[in-house]
């Protein structure tokens, strides 16, 4: 069974940067969009960013526009999330997802998910 493996989480100070990476443990069939979601304790999982297979279309949540950048390497089927100017409200478990089952990539309905990597932003 294909799983996505995230890395790069950790502790960072307000205003700092962090880069998350996501790689599949096996092959993902087809040309699929990939995305990042995040979930804070006691809250729902929410959309952060998504990228088309070719990388020519990117989508961002309003809360991260101008600070986060999503990119991908199709030779490895990996997706990265560069996070700059981090704020305490960005603290959450970040999840990688691949293969949206909906035309709305912002919905958390994807075929594949990772286990999440924790990002904690401190003052």
Tracing tokens 């990228």 back to the chain, one arrives at 51
- What residue ranges of the chain have pLDDT lower than 70? 29-30
Quote the pLDDT of residue 65: 98
pLDDT at 30: 66
Q: CB within 8 A of 100, min separation 6: which ones? A: 32, 33, 35, 50, 107, 109, 110, 111
- pLDDT tens, position by position, 49-61: 999 999 999 999 9
């Amino acid at each position: 069974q294909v799983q996505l493996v995230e890395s790069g989480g950790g502790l960072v100070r307000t205003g700092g940067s962090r880069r998350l990476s996501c790689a599949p443990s096996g092959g993902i069939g087809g040309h699929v969009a990939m995305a990042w979601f995040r979930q804070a304790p006691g809250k729902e999982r929410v959309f952060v960013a998504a990228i088309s297979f070719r990388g020519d279309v990117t989508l961002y949540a309003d809360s991260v526009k101008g600070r986060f950048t999503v990119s991908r390497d199709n030779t490895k089927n990996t997706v990265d999330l560069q996070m700059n100017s981090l704020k305490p409200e960005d603290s959450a478990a970040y999840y990688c997802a691949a293969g949206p089952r909906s035309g709305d990539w912002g919905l958390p309905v994807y075929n594949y998910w990772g286990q999440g990597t924790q990002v904690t932003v401190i003052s």
